[in-house]
Amino acid sequence: MKKASIHIDKHFITGQVDERIYGSFIEHLGRAVYEGIYQPDSPFADKQGLRQDVIDLVKKLNVPVVRYPGGNFVSGYHWEDGVGPKSERPEKIDLAWNVIETNQFGLNEFMDWAKKANTTPMMAVNLGTRGAEDAKNLVEYCNLKGGSYYSDLRRKHGYEQPHNIRLWCLGNEMDGPWQMGHKTAAEYGRIAAEAGRLMKMVDPDIELVACGSAALTMPTFGEWEYTILDECYDQVDYLSLHQYYNNRANDTADFLANTVAMDQFISSVVSICDAVKAKKRKKKSINLSFDEWNVWYHSSEQDKKLERWCKAPHQLEDIYNFEDALLVAGMMITLLRHADRVKVACLAQLVNVIAPIMTSDTGAWKQTIYYPFEMISNYGRGTVLHTLTDCPVYESSHGDAPYLDAVCTMDNDENLTFFLVNKDLNDSMELTVDLRQFEGYQVKEHVVLTNPDVKEVNTEEHPDTVTPVRLPVGNCSDAASSITGRNSAVVEGGILKATLCDKSFHMIRLGK
């Protein structure tokens, strides 16, 4: 059995958790909107056609912000097509995903859905085929009370009060050659600066996200970030990061080591932001918005067979397995470990499209990745303590990878929560944490997500194949032992002791 230890100190703080780090994403793509959050003919839909079963599952995830309407889709989108009487809305081709967009769901419907789902919007503007003028008009439509053309147009559409959208994306992945309106760094930096300036002239209180590289693997990564910030530093508040991981090589250990690459990615972008800050002698720091992240590869072959110009096809519908859930947990731990600079993050996406929630005409169910997101989103609030982990490492294509991914948060009531992933596929891990600084603390809850088969999945017929188990605190049971190899974590003599079974995710909560 391997041994690991964690060192924390209540005075050594990484940063405050911005709740928007637990955001998600709804794009006009596949069945994310149509048959996902919106399906008027469904028995689960309310009077507005919004699926209540999906809303209930989204609420449990406690998602504070949802990015909309794209994604690649936004770079060719005319937001005006999706507002006003539905009978007058045009059906148009979407070049991003080679489908027909009906526009029966648009901006105002999304705002209604967001309120019902207890979330807020992160609205993206089209800087691909459109520009600064259209971005300005959209802010006017959404955020001004009235008395102008676009604000009065919103009122005419039945929305008397402004939407007051605070967070905006200046386009999407503009360095990608696949993007409609793809631009060089200098071109994008200039239009982002001008669009941002006009948008803040309409509403000075909004926050803006500039497009960083579409992925760490982009050939212009680094140079792109530096160049665009050199142009738009004064106008923007965040720089975006996007990254998806896959296990096409079918090497689970190397797949789980992607948290090392993610950590390095974040640190590199922080360095670039601060280099531009130093060059410009600015006081303001640019923080990060990791507004697309997930596992994505399961559906790639299926998507190659899709017919062009259909409506809401089964597209990008990855069926996630248990190893995907372990990596998602590790990625969320990595985001928390950078809570000082990562202030927004969006799991891409939320429903049906590379998503934790799946739907059919007969119901909705949770994929494996739903569970780590739910636990960390609900309990990873407050302050991130600087979490030092001492554990064995293994070789990976990303460098030495620790067998244990770990972070500790402290909420406003000074409860501690440890999120832990044991990446060892064969061996349990004996964990100790010195808690003598936290006198009187005991284990309040210990939840584990594990499965003997890393390829196991949840389906509509068998939705509970991979689900978390709450261990009995303070005593042992045969059921708990059969899953974890021992009973719940315990504090003895000021030391937290826990056995982390092989290939497992744990949430351990402690308080006085």
Whole-angstrom distance, CA of residue 22 vs CA of residue 63: 6
CA proximity to 438, closest of 408, 459, 398: 408
392: three-class secondary structure by DSSP:
coil
Query: DSSP letters of 302-346?
Result: HHTTPPTTBSS-S-S----BHHHHHHHHHHHHHHHHTTTTEEEEE
Cα separation, 72 vs 196, whole angstroms? 20
Known catalytic membership, residue 88: no
d(CA 241, CA 331): 13
Residue 317's CB: how many other CB atoms inside 10 A?
Answer: 18
The dihedral built from the CA positions of residue 314, 316, 321 and 322, taken in this order, carries a sign that is negative
Q: Which helix (H) or strand (E) holds 150?
A: helix 149-156
The set of residues, in sequence order, having a beta carbon less than 8 Å from that of 398 and lying 6+ positions away, is 254, 257, 258, 260, 261, 264
DSSP 8-state secondary structure symbol assigned to residue 27? -
* Chain Cα centroid distance, residue 213: 17
**φ/ψ of residue 316, rounded to 5:** 55, 40
Query: Which amino acid, residue 367?
Result: Q
Of the listed 101, 173, 317, 374, which one is catalytic?
173
**Type and span of the H or E element at 384:** strand 383-385
- Residue 331 burial (CB count, 10 A): 28
Query: What distance in Å separates the CA atoms of residue 124 and residue 225, rounded to the nearest whole number?
Result: 19
What is the Cα–Cα distance from 395 to 407, expressed in whole angstroms? Answer: 22
Return d(Cα 141, Cα 136) in angstroms, integer: 9
Rounded CA separation 415/507 (Å): 13
Q: Which residues touch 313 (CB under 8 Å, ≥6 apart)?
A: 30, 31, 99, 306, 307
Give whole-number Cα distances, 232 to 211, 212, 238, 351, in Å: 11, 12, 11, 33
Question: How is residue 214 written in tokens?
Answer: 């579409």
User: Which of 27, 80, 101, 292 is an active site residue?
Assistant: 292
| 173 catalytically annotated | yes
* Catalytic machinery residues: 173, 292
